[in-house]
Amino acid sequence: MSYQALARKWRPRRFTDVVGQAHVVGALTTALEQNRVHHAFLFTGTRGVGKTTLARLLAKALNCEQAPCAEPCGSCPACIGVDEGRYIDLLEIDAASRTRIDDTREILDNVQYAPTLGRYKVYLIDEVHMLSGHSFNALLKTLEEPPSHVKFLLATTDPQKLPPTILSRCLQFNLRVLKPEEITGQLQKIANAEGLEADEVGLATLARAASGSMRDALSLLDQGIVFGNGQVTGAEVREMLGMIEQQQVDTILRALAAADGSTLIDTVAQMASRAIDYMAALDDLLLVLHDVSLYQILPEAASAKQADSDLVVYLASTMTKEDVQLYYQIGMLGKRDMLLAPDPVSGFEMTLLRMLTFHPADETGEGSNGERPAQKTPTAPVRKQQTQGQGVASVCTTSPLADSAPPTEPASLQRPASLPKTDLADPDLWAAFVDGSGLKGVTREFAMNLSPQSYDPQKGVLIVSLKPNLAKLHSQSRQTSLENAFSQFNGSPVKLKLIDGSEDAPETPTQNRARHDSEEKAEVYQTLMEDPMVMDIMERFDATVVPDSVRPAKQHKES
């Protein structure tokens, strides 16, 4: 007897056998029980999720000897004929190969005739979106006024290509992509029934590779049986699919956590000796990183889905949350860029090198754990900006990707000699510090809106105020970054105590800068108005100078 593929052998014969489409099955069985069956149905969804299977089951239920019933009996001539593909009143049409108008007319010319054996003549048109425009017009005429003995069951993977006039005359059911655990459960059931030696890891790997398609999963199971000589194990399946070994996934992620570049490159070199699907290899890494992030944020959810493996627990305790998120994002972008890489292995290796190189940094240039990482993302080129009248340079540091040494502190981050040495609550001193600190982003914005109130030299505490409407700028990590930077600026430890600000509070750096700008602008305007040449031009041409157009030369260059 010839071998029958598992996808055909295990095609559902009853509605209860359908996996993962309860919403569609429920609607169809209700319609059958109440004898309220529409004349046209449209089943949509990706490949292998059960579109034609459900259409055949509906055709069986309509013509079963026990009809109307929610479940076909499976033993009457109509049910057996549909199962064996020889029922005369079920006309299955492949629209992909019969797109011409003549083909459609030939089929629809027989619509007027009564069914030969059953209650209904059922037309099952697969990939209906492939019909031509004229064919759709011919089908539309029949759908508008169909005979009572005819039912149309349409299936497509691309409903967007169907004319609205067709869609409006059908009951549309969208079949969803199956979950990996749903596919795994069905594969396990089939493996047990077939007497196969299959482990849970192997079946789960097949289910994930099927990408939500039960038919693809059964085809892969057939392939796995042959490849493994009757055994379906995790190692055999990964070898068959060209997937990275689980041990290599473990090694790569542990090497990333330890910033061990040598082990990382050696592992990639070992992978190159096999026919690896590097896109799938990145998927394996991303799945583990997802579980790590889930464990870090919601450990109970990770435990519920049994994602708290030894590897996940180790990585969750070794990597910061920010590193895990960044690695995941780099991996996602790596999948896109791999298509443009000279070859897959170099694209995969470059993605890992990016993960090894880049680390999240906050606005002060420090790592996400508050310490400067050995390697970190460059922030901006070195630039110097002169502050208003203070002579303090503002420096943004950068480090090349290949340089693993910690970036040095800005040499200019020190208190100018012209500013008070004891009164750290002086607004000019605080403004000079913020301008010269190199702080970035929200941390800088936070500092720009702090107003120094008083300083206790005995305790080394500087009281600063922040207006309540800006309280969202404050966080403990930003305050700590400010304390570290200001202590370096001052040359001795300083702690900040935050209080609510009032309208009469001393100047913030933002207000300090605005005041200096206004004073300098007024001074320049006055100098300009007293210039003999300008006075002569104004007199000759009856001209005026617009005050807002006057800016100090320094401001003009910066803008």
pLDDT reading at 141 higher than 70: yes
List, as one string, the DSSP characters of 328-393: HHHHHHHHHHHTTSSSHHHHHHHHHHHHHH---B-TTS-BTTSS--SS--------EEE-TTT--E
pLDDT > 90: what percent of the chain?
A: 19
* Mean pLDDT, residues 521-538 taken together: 79
Cβ pair 297, 321 in contact under 8 A: yes
pLDDT reading at 420 higher than 60: no
- Paired with 124 in beta bridges are 92, 153
* Mean pLDDT, residues 270-282 taken together: 84
How far lies 551's CA from each of 101, 522, 537, 546, 558, in Å?
A: 76, 9, 19, 11, 11
CATH 3.30.300.150 placement within the chain: 409-510
Token readout for 433 is 């510090």
CATH 1.10.8.60 placement within the chain: 180-241
pLDDT reading at 365 higher than 90: no
- Give the per-residue pLDDT at 113: 84
pLDDT reading at 212 higher than 90: no
pLDDT reading at 336 higher than 60: yes
Cβ pair 481, 447 in contact under 8 A: no
- Give the per-residue pLDDT at 130: 87
Among residues 479, 488, 484, the alpha carbon closest in space to that of 414 is found at 488
CATH topology of domain 180-241: Helicase, Ruva Protein; domain 3 (1.10.8)
How far lies 425's CA from each of 144, 390, 505, in Å?
A: 83, 17, 12
pLDDT reading at 216 higher than 50: yes
Rg of the chain in Å (alpha carbons)? 36
Q: Which of 142-156, 197-211, 433-447 comes out lowest in average pLDDT?
A: 433-447
pLDDT digits (tens, 9 = 90+) for 65-109: 887 778 888 889 899 999 888 899 898 888 877 767 777 777 777
Sign of the dihedral through C-alpha 240, 243, 246, 251: positive
What is this structure's pTM? 0.56
pLDDT digits (tens, 9 = 90+) for 506-523: 878 778 777 777 777 778
Q: How confident is the model at residue 328 (pLDDT cuts 50, 70, 90)?
A: very high
Tell me yes or no: is domain 6-174 CATH 3.40.50.300. yes
pLDDT digits (tens, 9 = 90+) for 381-392: 333 333 333 333
pLDDT reading at 426 higher than 90: no
CATH of 409-510, one of 1.20.1340.10, 3.90.1010.10, 3.30.300.150, 3.30.450.40: 3.30.300.150
pLDDT reading at 397 higher than 60: no
- Give the per-residue pLDDT at 172: 92
- Give the per-residue pLDDT at 318: 86
pLDDT reading at 43 higher than 90: yes
Among residues 218, 221, 213, 226, the alpha carbon closest in space to that of 176 is found at 213
CATH 1.20.272.10 placement within the chain: 246-357
CATH 3.40.50.300 placement within the chain: 6-174
Per the prediction, the chain carries an average pLDDT of 80
CATH of 246-357, one of 1.10.10.60, 1.20.272.10, 3.40.50.300, 3.30.300.10: 1.20.272.10
